[in-house]
Amino acid sequence: MPDSKLYFKNILLNETRLGFIKILKKNGADISTSTEKIVHGEKVGNLTINYSTIKPFKINKEKIPSMIDEIPLLAILATKAKGISIVRGAKELRYKECDRIKAICQNLKRMNAKVKELEDGFIVEGPSDLEPRKIHTFNDHRIAMAFTVLNKSLNGTYNLDNTNCIKISYPNFIKDMNSLMQ
């Protein structure tokens, strides 16, 4: 959201899990880390995210492992980038809690995004003039959380067919989202 700034404390900064942050920074996101320290052998620090526009991105098979859980959120962000964003080499997403490629594409299409489903990923043309819709989570926590962020940014509501699936990985997600949106 324009003029927004988020600050997160004590975030895991493990290099093997930073693919999402790296691709966003490479494509124009204003993200910085500070106060890095080692906790239980892992690098931890604070993360500051300032509102910025991002450019479209291309993600290939080599980059997927470092951002596999964030691909649904990247799909959401692709709807905001001006141009064509491509995710390839992510076929393993079809074998998670649900077929995440299918879930991403179906939900984005229902919201009027320009998206094309591929065997191993998807293509999103942005920016899209999205409309809030009821989200089909397919009982998948990652799909539920990503589309909750999108719906919340569009009209401030959570419209999911199942919020209980979020509890598997982040029981306080809705509460924390509400605190961020104030």
Residue 68: both structure tokens together: 């596999």
C-beta pairs of 26-31 under 8 Å, 24+ apart in sequence: 26/57, 27/54, 27/55, 27/56, 27/57, 27/81, 28/52, 28/53, 28/54, 28/55, 29/54
- 129 counts as catalytic: no
Using an 8 Å Cβ cutoff, are 157 and 151 in contact?
Answer: yes
User: Which one of the listed residues 3, 30, 69, 161 is annotated catalytic?
Assistant: 69
Catalogue the active-site residues: 69
